[in-house]
């Protein structure tokens, strides 16, 4: 049975979806809860296992409006983990989705993209 | 009884929009944060200015939650005692220049580290801060023990228009009162 997780957004945590059957993760909203590590623990646990398996595809849609510095640290860690396991056979696609007026998220996406070597990183900026 | 008229006049004199003082909780940040955003909406600022103020607020709160020494255990949650940190947070504005000021009690042992971090951040320009932020995130990711407090300070420096102003005053045996002040915005009276 493939893993499925869905968490609705709260005032300080984002909507989270993991659909293992499709190799798909989505974050949407804001992330500034004090206990960031605790909130994303089940996502990280799943990701570690999935990346170690012989997967075909992992797509990560990261559509955040705002996140704090602890979340930034955690996101970069996740991305580096994905990048380390990305190959031609085990494809990883990251869509960093934001709007053109969100300077903070755009800058952060640009900075994180520079650290990636193997995965496909798309900065998706809409009006 | 507290003289509320005196308090009101002081708040007015210093152009204070939002003031919060008392116990800090992780969940409480949402509520005060919402009030701050509402206040900023009135000025119809670009998203980047609202985000800058909000981000400085969040990082200061996170820092206070982590480092405030004025805690006593009250209440219990899922078998765990909750230590609420105490602090004071103020958002004020004049002519669309915002100031954010916070104060909390901390242990003397943390003073030197925080002081030298702020002094260093104040020497960097915006591109320098952006670069330093990424370097530190990578460093902290390599060292899992770190709690990320240093990164919070860098984020504050990145979003502020001014340098970070601060003071450390002796509070009581072993404790120091830490005040931090930054401004956001390019209007008249903005301190670079």
- Which residues in chain B have Cβ-Cβ distances shorter than 8 Å to A11? 27, 30-31, 33-34
Report d(CA A3, CA B109) in Å as an integer: 46
Q: How confident is the model at residue B70 (pLDDT cuts 50, 70, 90)?
A: low
Whole-angstrom Cα distance, residue A109 to residue A76?
10
Q: Give the ipTM of the model, two decimals please.
A: 0.92
pTM of the model as a whole? 0.90
- B159-to-A30, B96, B130, B139, B189 alpha-carbon distances in Å: 18, 16, 10, 21, 17
Q: Across the interface, do B29 and A32 touch by the CB < 8 Å criterion? A: yes
Phi, psi of A120 (to 5 degrees): -90, 120
Q: Is the Cβ of B137 closer than 8 Å to some Cβ of chain A? A: yes
Is B160 a residue whose pLDDT tops 80? yes
Mutate to test the interface with B, among A11, A69, A114 (most CBs of B within 10 A): A69
Q: Given an 8 Å threshold on Cβ–Cβ distance, is A103 in contact with B48?
A: yes
pLDDT at B192: 47
Residues of chain A falling short of pLDDT 50: none
Residue that the structure tokens 């979340």 belong to: A71
Tell how strand B175-184 and strand B97-107 pair up.
Answer: antiparallel
* Closest to A64 measured CA to CA, from A2, A112, A19, A22: A112
- In chain B, pLDDT over 70 holds for what percent of residues? 83
Q: What is the largest CA-CA distance in chain A?
A: 41
Residues of A in contact with B134 (CB under 8 A): 111, 115
Q: Mean pLDDT over residues B89-113, rounded?
A: 91
Q: Taking CA atoms, what residue in B is nearest to A11?
A: B30
Closest chain B residue to A74 measured between Cα atoms?
B141
Q: What pLDDT shows up at residue A1?
A: 75
């Amino acid at each position: 049975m493939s893993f499925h997780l869905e968490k609705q957004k709260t005032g300080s945590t984002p909507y989270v979806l993991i659909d293992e059957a499709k190799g798909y993760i989505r974050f949407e909203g804001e992330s500034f809860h004090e206990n960031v590590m605790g909130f994303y623990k089940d996502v990280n646990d799943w990701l570690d296992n999935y990346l170690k398996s012989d997967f075909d595809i992992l797509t990560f849609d990261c559509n955040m409006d705002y996140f704090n510095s602890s979340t930034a640290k955690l996101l970069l860690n996740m991305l580096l983990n994905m990048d380390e396991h990305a190959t031609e056979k085990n494809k990883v696609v990251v869509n960093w989705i934001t709007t053109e007026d969100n300077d903070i998220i755009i800058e952060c996406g640009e900075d994180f993209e520079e650290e990636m070597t193997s995965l496909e990183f798309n900065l998706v900026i809409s009006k | 009884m507290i003289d509320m008229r005196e308090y009101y006049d002081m708040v007015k004199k210093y152009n204070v929009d939002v003031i919060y003082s008392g116990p800090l909780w992780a969940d409480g940040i949402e509520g005060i944060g919402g009030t701050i955003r509402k206040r900023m909406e009135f000025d119809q600022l670009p998203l980047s200015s609202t985000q800058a103020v909000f981000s400085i607020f969040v990082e200061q709160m996170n820092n206070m939650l982590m480092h405030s020494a004025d805690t006593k255990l009250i209440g219990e949650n899922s078998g765990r005692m909750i230590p609420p940190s105490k602090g004071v947070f103020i958002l004020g504005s004049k002519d669309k220049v915002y100031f954010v000021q916070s104060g909390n009690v901390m242990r003397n042992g943390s003073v030197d580290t925080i002081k030298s971090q702020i002094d260093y951040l104040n020497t960097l320009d915006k591109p320098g801060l952006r670069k330093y932020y990424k370097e530190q995130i990578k460093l902290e990711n390599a060292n899992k023990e770190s709690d990320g407090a240093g990164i919070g300070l860098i984020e504050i420096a990145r979003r502020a228009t001014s340098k970070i102003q601060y003071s450390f005053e002796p509070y009581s045996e072993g404790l120091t009162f830490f005040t931090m002040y930054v401004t956001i915005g390019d209007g008249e009276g903005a301190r670079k």
